[in-house]
Amino acid sequence: MSRPERLFSLLAALRRLPAPSTAAQLAAQTGVSPRSIYRDIDSLRAGGARIDGERGFGYTLVEDGALPPQTFSRIELEALILGLSEVRHMGDPALSGAAQSVLDKVAATLPSLGQQHLLHAVSQVHHFGQRYARLPDMDLIRTCCWREEALNIEYVDRNGAASRRTIWPLAIVYLEQMLVVLARCCLRDDFRMFRAERIASATPTGDTFRPRRAALLRDYRARM
């Protein structure tokens, strides 16, 4: 984990945990040592975050210098809660954690009335089980989309026939009842939609197709 990522993770833990949070609690949440927590607290304070407390007592995030104050209407907060709650039920652990982190960040910058509205939102989401079927490593696929890195996949079609493909992952598309990976298939030299639950394995190749992702997406949308 890079240092900026570690600092963002520490800020998220300070927002999420009941205050005051001890160095041991923060270390358990962020996966670093208490000694690193002490150094990172000093770095955040130097960067403008107001953090009360000290070693042996605990820390409280009083003012988050990383985010400006936010103003949302009550219906905007309802939309935020509804959207993030839906993301948390998709069955993708990385996205679920990110949705909770976004909610924590927003809550930390709201005035007290906005925090009450967020806490007592009318809109609720509940699913009896995750929305999508078994998923491959979506975090890996998502990262390869960002990096514009080719993937080797083992894919099983609707008839149960297995094949190996090299693809250029372009986007992850969330449909009503299925999750698909839009990609340029090197075998077919064309666009293909791969159902996520049929991807048996995915391995990065280390080969980049940068900077073609944006252009390929434009071509696909124009064709559609």
pLDDT at 74: 85
Give the rounded distance of the alpha carbon of 52 from its chain centre. Answer: 29
**CB-based burial, 169-182: b 16+ in 10 Å, e otherwise:** bbebeeeeeebbbb
Q: Supply the range of the domain harboring residue 207.
A: 138-223
Domain contains 130: no
Burial class (CB in 10 A: 0-12, 13-18, 19+), 131: middle
Burial class (CB in 10 A: 0-12, 13-18, 19+), 163: exposed
pTM: 0.64
Burial class (CB in 10 A: 0-12, 13-18, 19+), 12: buried
CA–CA gap between residue 109 and residue 129 (Å, rounded): 32
Domain contains 132: no
- Quote the number of domains for the chain: 3
Domain contains 100: yes
Query: What are 127-145's pLDDT values in tens digits?
Result: 666 666 666 788 899 999 9
Query: What are 166-210's pLDDT values in tens digits?
Result: 999 999 998 877 889 999 999 889 999 999 989 999 999 999 999
Query: What are 145-167's pLDDT values in tens digits?
Result: 999 999 999 999 889 999 999 99
Q: What is the CATH number of the domain that holds 39?
A: 1.10.10.10
Domain contains 145: yes
Q: What is the CATH number of the domain that holds 144?
A: 2.30.30
Is-contact 149 208, C-beta < 8 A? yes
Q: Could you tell me where the DSSP H helices lie in 120-195?
A: 138-147
Mean pLDDT of 89-115: 82
Query: What are 108-128's pLDDT values in tens digits?
Result: 777 777 778 877 888 777 766
CA–CA gap between residue 34 and residue 73 (Å, rounded): 39
Amino acid letter, 189:
D
Tokens 């078994």 belong to which residue? 134
Q: Are residues 145 and 207 in the same domain?
A: yes
Q: Are residues 109 and 90 in the same domain?
A: yes
Is-contact 171 145, C-beta < 8 A? yes
Q: Are residues 209 and 153 in the same domain?
A: yes
Q: Are residues 53 and 10 in the same domain?
A: yes
Domain contains 128: no
Domain contains 14: yes
CA–CA gap between residue 11 and residue 175 (Å, rounded): 33
Q: How far is CA 31 from CA 22, 60, 92, in A?
A: 14, 19, 21
